[in-house]
C-alpha cells in the first residue's frame, strides 16, 4: 500500500464504513480518503494497562479502570425515570455506580469479578461512576487492557449515527493491517536520521495504537515536525523565488535624504539607523525587497519610512505609504509635511536647493472627485513623489509613472487579499511603462509577533526590528482600577489637565452590538462633560463622517479639546505627544495586543504618562491575568508571547486578520517552538543547496508539496 493509494482510496470502501457513514464522515470531518482518516489524530489517550484502587482515586482523574465485584444494587423510580444504583467493592473500599438510562438492560450478578471502566466523580466521601462500562472479567480480552486507548473528536451528528470515538477507532484499526508492509515515507531518510524521527509507518501505527507513552510522544513529534517542515519548505521556497525577482536599483543616498537628516530636531536612535541601513542594502541590491519592519509602538517607524521614501525619490522613483484608516493616513500626511517643511520652504527661496523639493499628496476614500484629478495626473506625470492614502490607493484609476517603493503601515490591519491586490496592481502599472519590475515592499507593524508566529505568518519576509525607543521617554505607568474608583480617577485626570496635559478615554466597540456600544460611548461622553464642565471634549467613532472625525481629531491634536472620547478608531498610529493619560473603559473586553496598542497612544512626549485600565469588580481568571500582564510590563514582545499562551495562535488579533494561511492539525504554535525551529532549519538546509528541488534525492519533497497544495484551497502565492 503506497501513500498515494491511501490518498486515493475512497473511505466508502474501507472496512466498517459504507456509503452512509462515508457521507457523514465527509460532511462532519471533511474525511474522504483512507489517508484522511489516518490523519485524524487522537486528541487524548487513556492508559488501559493501569488498574486503580478506589483508595487511590483523585478528583482530577479522567478515566480509570478498577477490578472488583458488585455487592448490592437497587432501582429507584419507574418507567423512563427509572434509575439503577449499585455498590462496587474492590476488596477494601466501595464506590457507587449509577445508570440513568437503559437501566433495565444492565444485568448484574453477585460474586462475579468485573472490570469497571469510567470517569469518577466525588460526592461527599463517596466516588461514583455514571454509566460506566462494566465487563465480566471472563470476557475481558488482552487488547482491552493493553496500552493507551486513543480518543477521537466526534460531532453530535456523528454520535447520533453511531460514529463515536470507539467506532472511529475500529475503522482505523481496520486500516492498520494494510500498513504492515510499510508505506513509503513522506520525509527523506537523511532527515529522519538526523532529527531522530519515527518512520511514517511506525508513526501511523503508534499515533493511533501506541505501545507506550514514549512511542506515542515520538509518533506525535514526527507528525508535528512533518507538518511544520512542509509549511516552512513552502514558505522558504516562496522566499527564494522572490529573491530572484529583479528590483529597481537605488544605490544613491541623495540630497533630499541628507537635507532631512540634517534638519531633524533629534538624532536617530541606533536601531533606526541600523534598519535604514538594512533597507538601503536591499534597495541597492538589484533584487526586489520584501521586508517586514517590526517596532514597538512609539519606536519611530514613520520617520524610518519617510527616510526610505526619500532614498527612493532621490533615485528618481515614486513611493506610497498605505495606512489602514483615514485618521492615520491624514496624520501621516500632516506629519510628513511637517518633517519636510524645511526642504520645501528652501526650495522656493534658496537657489540651488530647489531640487530638494518633495511633493507629498493624500488620497483617501473621502477625497472628492475634483481633488482626485490633480492627484491622478501628478502620479502619471511623476510630479508627486510620495502618495499617502488608505485602500483608495488600490483603485484602478490610480496609475503610476514609476512606483519604486511601497510602504504599508500597520500591515496586520490589512487582509491578505487586499495586500495581494496592491502587489498585482503595481505589476499592472508597470506593464504600461517599459519595464516590468515589481516595486520594493516594506511592511510595518507595531504588533509584535511571537517568534513562532513570525516564522510562519511572515516566514517569507526579511525582518528588521527597531528594538529601542527614542531617548528620554519615561516608561508608561499602568494602573488597574475597578469602576467603583471612578471619582478617584476623575480627580487624577483633572490634575493632569491642570498641568496642561490631555487625555484619551476609550470605549470598546464590538460589531454585533454596535448600537449598545455607541450608547455607552455617548453616555460616557455626557458623563465626562458633566464632570469636566470647564473643559472642551471631543468625541470620535467609526460611524461618523470622515470630515467630522478629522475635525474632532484636529481640535484634540491642537490642544483645543482636553479630552478625546473615542472607540478603538484611535487604536493604531495616532500621535498626539501632549496626551499623557489613556483611560480604557471595560478593559476586560479588549485583547492584550489591543490594550498594548491603545496604551501606545500615550508616552510619546517627554512627560510621565499613564494608562488606566477600568474594569468591573468581578473578573474571570483570564481577564485578571491579562490586566496583571499589562500592569507588569510595557514590552510588546512579552505581551505578544503572553497573548499567544493565553489564547492560542488561531485567536491572536492581527494574525487573525492577516490570516494564518494554513490549518495546523497537530502542531501548536504556542508550544511547539523547538520542533518548529528544527523543521525550519531542515527546510532551509535543503533549499540552500537545491532551491528549486530539482535534485533526485529531493524529489520526494517536491512531490509531497504538490500533494499538499492540491489538498489546500489556499493560494500560497498571495502571502505577502
Enumerate binding residues for ligand ADP (CB under 6 A): 266, 268-269, 272, 295, 297-303, 446, 470, 573, 575, 577, 604
* Phi, psi values for residue 46, rounded to 5°: -115, 130
Closer residue to ligand ADP, CB minimum distance, 300 or 508: 300
Closest CA to 33 of 14, 15, 46, 16: 14
Closer residue to ligand ADP, CB minimum distance, 295 or 438: 295
Q: Nearest distance from residue 226's CB to ligand ADP, in Å?
A: 38
Angle (nearest 5°) at CA 554 between 411 and 581: 75
Q: Nearest distance from residue 9's CB to ligand ADP, in Å?
A: 54
Q: Nearest distance from residue 332's CB to ligand ADP, in Å?
A: 9
In the list 300, 439, 508, 573, the residue contacting Mg ion (rule: CB under 5 A) is 573
Q: Which stretch binds Mg ion (CB under 5 A): 92-100, 138-146, 565-573, 669-677?
A: 565-573
Q: Nearest distance from residue 298's CB to ligand ADP, in Å?
A: 5
Closer residue to ligand ADP, CB minimum distance, 290 or 575: 575
Closer residue to ligand ADP, CB minimum distance, 463 or 529: 463
Q: Nearest distance from residue 597's CB to ligand ADP, in Å?
A: 9
What is d(CA 380, CA 374) in angstroms, rounded to the nearest whole number? 10
What is d(CA 594, CA 572) in angstroms, rounded to the nearest whole number? 9
Closer residue to ligand ADP, CB minimum distance, 299 or 720: 299
Closer residue to ligand ADP, CB minimum distance, 572 or 666: 572
Closer residue to Mg ion, CB minimum distance, 65 or 330: 330
Q: Which does 132 bind (CB under 5 to 8 A by kind): Mg ion, ligand ADP, none?
A: none
Q: Give the list of residues 6+ apart from residue 523 with CB closer than 8 angstroms, or none.
A: none
Q: Which does 508 bind (CB under 5 to 8 A by kind): Mg ion, ligand ADP, none?
A: none
Closest CA to 636 of 589, 663, 676, 603: 603
What is d(CA 561, CA 222) in angstroms, rounded to the nearest whole number? 60
Q: Nearest distance from residue 469's CB to ligand ADP, in Å?
A: 8
Output the 3-class SS for 398-433.
Answer: CCCCCEEEEEECCHHHCCHHHHHHHHHHHHHHHHHC
Q: Nearest distance from residue 597's CB to Mg ion, in Å?
A: 10
Closer residue to ligand ADP, CB minimum distance, 210 or 298: 298
Closer residue to ligand ADP, CB minimum distance, 300 or 654: 300
Sheet arrangement for strand 126-130 = 120-123, 126-130, 94-99, 83-89, 64-76, 114-118, 133-136
Q: Nearest distance from residue 447's CB to ligand ADP, in Å?
A: 11
Q: Which does 303 bind (CB under 5 to 8 A by kind): ligand ADP, Mg ion, none?
A: ligand ADP
What is d(CA 285, CA 283) in angstroms, rounded to the nearest whole number? 6
What is d(CA 634, CA 617) in angstroms, rounded to the nearest whole number? 24
Q: Which does 137 bind (CB under 5 to 8 A by kind): ligand ADP, Mg ion, none?
A: none
Q: Nearest distance from residue 335's CB to ligand ADP, in Å?
A: 7
Q: Does 132 bind Mg ion (CB under 5 A)?
A: no
Name the residue number minimizing CB distance to ligand ADP.
Answer: 300
Q: Which does 577 bind (CB under 5 to 8 A by kind): ligand ADP, Mg ion, none?
A: ligand ADP
Compute the radius of gyration of the chain from its Cα atoms: 32
Q: Which does 295 bind (CB under 5 to 8 A by kind): Mg ion, ligand ADP, none?
A: ligand ADP
Closest CA to 85 of 117, 112, 56, 94: 94
What is d(CA 242, CA 23) in angstroms, rounded to the nearest whole number? 42
Count of CA atoms in the C-beta half-sphere (13 A) of 533: 1
**Residue 277 burial (CB < 10 Å; 0-12/13-18/19+)?**
exposed
Q: Which does 342 bind (CB under 5 to 8 A by kind): Mg ion, ligand ADP, none?
A: none
Q: DSSP of 468-516, one letter per residue?
A: -PPTTPPPPEEEEEEGGGHHHHHHHHHHHHHTT-EEEEE----GGGHHH
Q: Nearest distance from residue 409's CB to Mg ion, in Å?
A: 6
Closer residue to ligand ADP, CB minimum distance, 466 or 612: 466
Binding site for Mg ion (CB under 5 A): 573
Amino acid at each position: 500500500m503506497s501513500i498515494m493509494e491511501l490518498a486515493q482510496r475512497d473511505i466508502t470502501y474501507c472496512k466498517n464504513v459504507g456509503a452512509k457513514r462515508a457521507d457523514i464522515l465527509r460532511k462532519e470531518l471533511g474525511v474522504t480518503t483512507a489517508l484522511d482518516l489516518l490523519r485524524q489524530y487522537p486528541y487524548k489517550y487513556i492508559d488501559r494497562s493501569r488498574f486503580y484502587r478506589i483508595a487511590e482515586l483523585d478528583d482530577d482523574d479522567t478515566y480509570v479502570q478498577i477490578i472488583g465485584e458488585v455487592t448490592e444494587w437497587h432501582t429507584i423510580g419507574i418507567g423512563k425515570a427509572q434509575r439503577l444504583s449499585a455498590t462496587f467493592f474492590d476488596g477494601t473500599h466501595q464506590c457507587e455506580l449509577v445508570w440513568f438510562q437503559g437501566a433495565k438492560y444492565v444485568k448484574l450478578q453477585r460474586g462475579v469479578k468485573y472490570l469497571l471502566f469510567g470517569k469518577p466523580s466525588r460526592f461527599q466521601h463517596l466516588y461514583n461512576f455514571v454509566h460506566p462500562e462494566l465487563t465480566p472479567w471472563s470476557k475481558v480480552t488482552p487488547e482491552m487492557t493493553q496500552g493507551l486507548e486513543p480518543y477521537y473528536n466526534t460531532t453530535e451528528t456523528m454520535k447520533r449515527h453511531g460514529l463515536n470515538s470507539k467506532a472511529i477507532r475500529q475503522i482505523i484499526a481496520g486500516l492498520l493491517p494494510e500498513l504492515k508492509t510499510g508505506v513509503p515515507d513522506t520525509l527523506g531518510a537523511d532527515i529522519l536520521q538526523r532529527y531522530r524521527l519515527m518512520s511514517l509507518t511506525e508513526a501511523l501505527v503508534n499515533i493511533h495504537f501506541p505501545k507506550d507513552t514514549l512511542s506515542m510522544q515520538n509518533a506525535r513529534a514526527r507528525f508535528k515536525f512533518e507538518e511544520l517542515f512542509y509549511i516552512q519548505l513552502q514558505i522558504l521556497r516562496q522566499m527564494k523565488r522572490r529573491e530572484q525577482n529583479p528590483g529597481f536599483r537605488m544605490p544613491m543616498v541623495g540630497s533630499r535624504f541628507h537635507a532631512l537628516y540634517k534638519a531633524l530636531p533629534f538624532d536617530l536612535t541606533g536601531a533606526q539607523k541600523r534598519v535604514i541601513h538594512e533597507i538601503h542594502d536591499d534597495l541597492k541590491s538589484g533584487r526586489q525587497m520584501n521586508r517586514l519592519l517590526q517596532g514597538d509602538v512609539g519606536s519611530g517607524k514613520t520617520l524610518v519610512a519617510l527616510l526610505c521614501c526619500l532614498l527612493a525619490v532621490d533615485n528618481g522613483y515614486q513611493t506610497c505609504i498605505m495606512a489602514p484608516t483615514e485618521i492615520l493616513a491624514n496624520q501621516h500626511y500632516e506629519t510628513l509635511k511637517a518633517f519636510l517643511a524645511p526642504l520645501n520652504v528652501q526650495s522656493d527661496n534658496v537657489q540651488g536647493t530647489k531640487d530638494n523639493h518633495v511633493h507629498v499628496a493624500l488620497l483617501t476614500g473621502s477625497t472628492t472627485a475634483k481633488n482626485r484629478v490633480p492627484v491622478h495626473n501628478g502620479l502619471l506625470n511623476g510630479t508627486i513623489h510620495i502618495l499617502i492614502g488608505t485602500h483608495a490607493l488600490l483603485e484602478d484609476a490610480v496609475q503610476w509613472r514609476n512606483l519604486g517603493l511601497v510602504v504599508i503601515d500597520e500591515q496586520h490591519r490589512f487582509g491578505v487579499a487586499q495586500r495581494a491586490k496592491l502587489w498585482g496592481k503595481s505589476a499592472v502599472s508597470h506593464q504600461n511603462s517599459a519595464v516590468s519590475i515589481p516595486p520594493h515592499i516594506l511592511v510595518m507593524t507595531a504588533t509584535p509577533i511571537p517568534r513562532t508566529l513570525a516564522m510562519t505568518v511572515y516566514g517569507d519576509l526579511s525582518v528588521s526590528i527597531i528594538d529601542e525607543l527614542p531617548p528620554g521617554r519615561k516608561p508608561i505607568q499602568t494602573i488597574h482600577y475597578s469602576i467603583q474608583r471612578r471619582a478617584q480617577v476623575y480627580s487624577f485626570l483633572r490634575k493632569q489637565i491642570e498641568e496642561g496635559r490631555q487625555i484619551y478615554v476609550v470605549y470598546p466597540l464590538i460589531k454585533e452590538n454596535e448600537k449598545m456600544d455607541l450608547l455607552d460611548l455617548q453616555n460616557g461622553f455626557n458623563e465626562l462633560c458633566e464632570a469636566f464642565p470647564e473643559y472642551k471634549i471631543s468625541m470620535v467613532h467609526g460611524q461618523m463622517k470622515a470630515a467630522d472625525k478629522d475635525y474632532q481629531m484636529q481640535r484634540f491634536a491642537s490642544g483645543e479639546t482636553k479630552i478625546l472620547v473615542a472607540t478603538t478608531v484611535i487604536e493604531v498610529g495616532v500621535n498626539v505627544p501632549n496626551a499623557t493619560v489613556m483611560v480604557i473603559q471595560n478593559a476586560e473586553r479588549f485583547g492584550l495586543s489591543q490594550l498594548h496598542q491603545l496604551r501606545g497612544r500615550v508616552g510619546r512626549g517627554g512627560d510621565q504618562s499613564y494608562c488606566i485600565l477600568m474594569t468591573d469588580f468581578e473578573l474571570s481568571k483570564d481577564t485578571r491575568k491579562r490586566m496583571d500582564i499589562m500592569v507588569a510590563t510595557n514590552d510588546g514582545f512579552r505581551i505578544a508571547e503572553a497573548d499567544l499562551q493565553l489564547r492560542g495562535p488561531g485567536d491572536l488579533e492581527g494574525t487573525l486578520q492577516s490570516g494564518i494561511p494554513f490549518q495546523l492539525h497537530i502542531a501548536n504554535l504556542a508550544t511547539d517552538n523547538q520542533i518548529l525551529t528544527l523543521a525550519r532549519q531542515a527546510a532551509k538546509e535543503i533549499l540552500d543547496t537545491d532551491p528549486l528541488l530539482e535534485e533526485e534525492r529531493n524529489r520526494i519533497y517536491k512531490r509531497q508539496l504538490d500533494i499538499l497544495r492540491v489538498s489546500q484551497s489556499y493560494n500560497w502565492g498571495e502571502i505577502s
